[in-house]
Amino acid sequence: MTRVALIAHDEKKADLIDFVQQHEAQLADYELIGTGTTGQRLMETTDLEVDRQASGPLGGDLMIGGQIAEGRLDGLIFLRDPLTAQPHEPDVSALLRICDVHDTPLATNLSSAAFLLEGLKRKGES
């Protein structure tokens, strides 16, 4: 089964919720993983189940990074807030790096998230 992680910084959570609602039919076919607050908000606003890890600042980013390192994720949508410093920036950087190391598709904005989902859809059709 296709596994996708969903993460959003506080200022981007509403954008991720809107995006997930627009793509809910496709995402319903995937196993979804998310950090604590983001996962909770997605479950409250959609009919999707999200396997919630810890909150990002409490290690959730690293937990998802571990799954990437183990080859257990097919993609990561991480809507980052580029205008606000994050107290857990080293964890964020490590997560982005592990995606590069393991060639895991990574989307950090809405346009790339749409392309990531389109790529996963095409991969599933082949």
Q: Going by CATH, does the domain composed of 3-125 fall within 3.60.15.10?
A: no
Between strands 50-52 and 31-34, the pairing is: parallel
Annotated binding-site residue numbers for substrate = 9, 13, 35-38, 55-56, 88
C-alpha to C-alpha distances, 35 to 119, 123, 125, nearest whole angstrom: 23, 25, 28
**Of 26-30, 71-75, 122-126, minimum mean pLDDT range:** 122-126
Domain parsing of the chain, residue ranges: 3-125
The one catalytic residue among 15, 18, 61, 103: 61
Annotated binding-site residue numbers = 9, 13, 35-38, 55-56, 88
For residue 123, the Cα-to-chain-centroid distance in whole angstroms is: 18
Concerning whether 51 is annotated as a catalytic residue, the answer is: no
* Contact of 67 with 35, CB cutoff 8 Å: no
pLDDT per position as a tens digit, 27-56: 999 999 999 999 999 999 999 999 999 998
C-alpha to C-alpha distances, 122 to 7, 68, 86, 117, 119, nearest whole angstrom: 23, 21, 34, 9, 5
State pTM to two decimals: 0.95
Q: How many alpha carbons fall within 13 Å on the CB side of residue 11?
A: 8
Q: For all residues of the chain together, what is the average pLDDT?
A: 95
